[in-house]
Amino acid sequence: MKLITAIIQPDRLDAVREALIKHEVFRITVSRCAGRGRAEEIDLYRGAEVAPDLIPKVRIDIACNEDFVEPAIEAICTAARHGDSGTIGDGKIMVTNLEQIVRIRTGERGSEAI
Amino acid sequence: MKTGRLFAMGLLAAAALLGITDFAAAQEGETVFANDPDTGITAWMLTSTALVLLMVPGLALFYGGLVRTKNVLGTMMHSFAAMAIIGVLWAVVGYAMTFGDTIGGIIGWASDKFMLAGTDTAKMAMDTENGVTSWIPEPVFAMFQGKFAIITPALIAGAFAERVRFLGYCVFIALWSLLVYNPLAHIVWGGGFLTGEAIDFAGGTVIHISAGVSGLIAVLYLGARRGYPKVAMHPNNLVLTMLGAGLLWVGWFGFNAGSSVSSGMQTAQALMVTQIAAAAGALVWIIIEGIQHGKATSLGMASGILAGLVAITPAAGDVTPLGAILLGGAASIACYLAILLKNRLGYDDTLDVFGIHGMAGIIGALGLTFFLRSVPDHGVATQFWFQVKGVGVSIAFAVVVTIVLVILIDKTIGLRLPQDDEMAGMDHSLHGEHGYGLLNVG
């Protein structure tokens, strides 16, 4: 079991969800977050340009079995990229090992509980 | 609108232009003005003017709360842009085009109203008693009417919310105001060919039907938002929407009761039926929702208020309190059905400009015939025909000119927002701002 954590641009959320659903990844958790990678974003405040330290992003968490990891990565990468070659700030995908999953309602554990 | 007064005003303006002196005027038995303005009417018209302007930020809150988080500022800017653009345009040519001397019954013009130059010091005649005519300063009437010109294009913005370029929108409302609103207002109120026929007390046809139909047409051309109707698009803040609906209700007293351009019985009657129709609309809407879904919603309450207010707008000066209850209630039923139908048909009138303003405007403009306080001499049937004519002219005029404008602007400077900008949201892509600070953006 793996945990896929993707940080993407907020405007690509709809596209990423559609792509994931196409690859039969339905169960996801989405949260708004803010952070800083290489990208900078400029806001305007009474005519002055302001570059905030932290840029709004969307975080997607997907717990899945091994078979789904590559399709999910592929789907997110394609859908989250801006333009053909992508732009700075398109985001990251992190994949980590998942030790245990428990479904609270039934107490099931492991792959069954995903 | 009292057309007799407007006509007298036009005559006076013409007299002033030709340099006819008071002596000459007195000789012909012409107007002798009282020394001081009628302070009662002047005070109420000043108040009404401020109340109608309050409706524009009210509309900004109403619409702003209904869109997604990433579009809240862009949507509120649509209302505020109308204040800025039409605010200037009305002073330059709008008032002259609407309330100038009629040219073929279609459009007005008076050179002393250009830039409001002559209006600046003009007296507008009210009633004549013992040879002395009471008056109000014309600037207050010009500004009162200017507020109507501002709010009408701002209403349209709800139809194509969340997917238009800012520059394209600005050009669209400027041209729409010149080519649709000013002629229509002239035709119905300013001395055009429907003046004195169709009853449109405060703008059911001129404002709500024209805006509703134009919104519908623009939406059919521009297409739906990306993902509609598959993706859920939740209102970002219904608290703002409730506040906006409340402000609109308050402002509407100026809108309707101010349209009597008096301070007397009819003013009070207009205020009374406005209150009653709004309440009836709201009540009927939440009852329908209660029956259909078992829950009354805040958005339903706000929509019912709007439906009731729109329906009573053309009728405010002329119908009985019972008529107000029935018109307000009927409007809510019709609008509710219209929105159900929209969902079936699948076109994306985002904030239901046609579903509420267009539909309730039509219900009010036609329905008022049957609840008139005093039936006109030509009878109910003839009056109903006048009303049908008024509604028909508004729809035909708005449809034709809006189609041309939307296509023209979209093909040249662009009206539809490119898809990447639409996904990023108008606040970021068009204005470089965020409505709710950093963490809530999306």
Q: Which of A12, A44, A56 sits opposite B433 (nearest CB)?
A: A44
Distance from CA of A108 to the nearest CA of B (A): 32
pLDDT of residue B133: 94
Give the best residue of B423, B429, B433 to mutate against chain A (max A CB count within 10 A): B423
pLDDT of residue B394: 95
| Per-residue pLDDT band at B362 (split at 50, 70, 90) | very high
pLDDT of residue A39: 73
Give helix B138-156 / helix B166-176 axis angle, nearest 10°: 130
pLDDT average, residue stretch A36-64: 81
Give pLDDT tens digits for B71-91: 999 999 999 999 999 999 999
Q: How far is CA B439 from CA A16, B32, B70, B76, B106, in A?
A: 20, 66, 12, 20, 53
pLDDT of residue A54: 78
* Residue of chain A whose alpha carbon sits nearest to that of B231: A14
Peptide bond into B229 cis (omega under 30): yes
| Per-residue pLDDT band at A52 (split at 50, 70, 90) | low
pLDDT of residue A42: 73
Average pLDDT, chain A: 90
Q: With a cut of 80, say whether residue A49 has pLDDT above it.
A: no
Distance from CA of A39 to the nearest CA of B (A): 15
pLDDT average, residue stretch B118-136: 93
pLDDT of residue B37: 95
Closest by alpha carbon to B110, among B123, B96, B120? Answer: B96
Give helix B298-312 / helix B359-367 axis angle, nearest 10°: 40
Residue B327 near residue B299, CB atoms below 8 Å: no
Give pLDDT tens digits for B11-43: 444 444 444 444 444 445 678 999 999 999 999
pLDDT average, residue stretch A88-112: 94
Between chain A and chain B, the number of residue pairs with CB atoms below 8 A apart is: 42
Share of chain B above pLDDT 70, in %: 92
Q: With a cut of 60, say whether residue B7 has pLDDT above it.
A: no
Is B433 an 8 Å CB contact of chain A?
yes
**A63 phi and psi angles, rounded to 5 deg:** -95, 130
Q: What is the pTM of this model?
A: 0.89
Average pLDDT, chain B: 92
Residues in B closer than 8 angstroms to A52, CB to CB, are 438
Q: Lowest-confidence range among B23-37, B162-176, B214-228?
A: B23-37
pLDDT of residue B192: 92
Q: Alpha-carbon distance B365 to B386, whole Å? A: 10
| Per-residue pLDDT band at B206 (split at 50, 70, 90) | very high
Q: Please compute, for residue B343, the number of CA atoms within 13 A of its CA located in the half-sphere on the CB side.
A: 6
* Residue of chain B whose alpha carbon sits nearest to that of A17: B231
Closest by alpha carbon to B419, among B245, B152, B163? Answer: B163
Give the best residue of A11, A46, A53, A57 to mutate against chain B (max B CB count within 10 A): A11
Q: Lowest-confidence range among A58-72, B153-167, B424-438?
A: B424-438
Q: With a cut of 90, say whether residue B327 has pLDDT above it.
A: yes
* Residue of chain A whose alpha carbon sits nearest to that of B419: A11
Is B232 an 8 Å CB contact of chain A?
no
Residue B122 near residue B16, CB atoms below 8 Å: yes
Domains of chain B and any CATH numbers: 37-118+135-225+235-422 (1.10.3430.10)
Q: Which of A44, A58, A82 sits opposite B432 (nearest CB)?
A: A44
Q: How many CB atoms lie within 10 A of CB B424?
A: 19
| Per-residue pLDDT band at B10 (split at 50, 70, 90) | very low
Helix, strand, coil shares of chain A as percentages rounded to 5?
30, 35, 40
What does the domain layout of chain A look like in residue ranges? 2-113
pLDDT of residue A50: 72
Is B425 an 8 Å CB contact of chain A?
yes
Q: Alpha-carbon distance B9 to B12, whole Å? A: 5
Please state which CATH number belongs to domain A2-113: 3.30.70.120
Q: With a cut of 70, say whether residue B2 has pLDDT above it.
A: no
Residues in B closer than 8 angstroms to A54, CB to CB, are 438
pLDDT of residue A43: 74
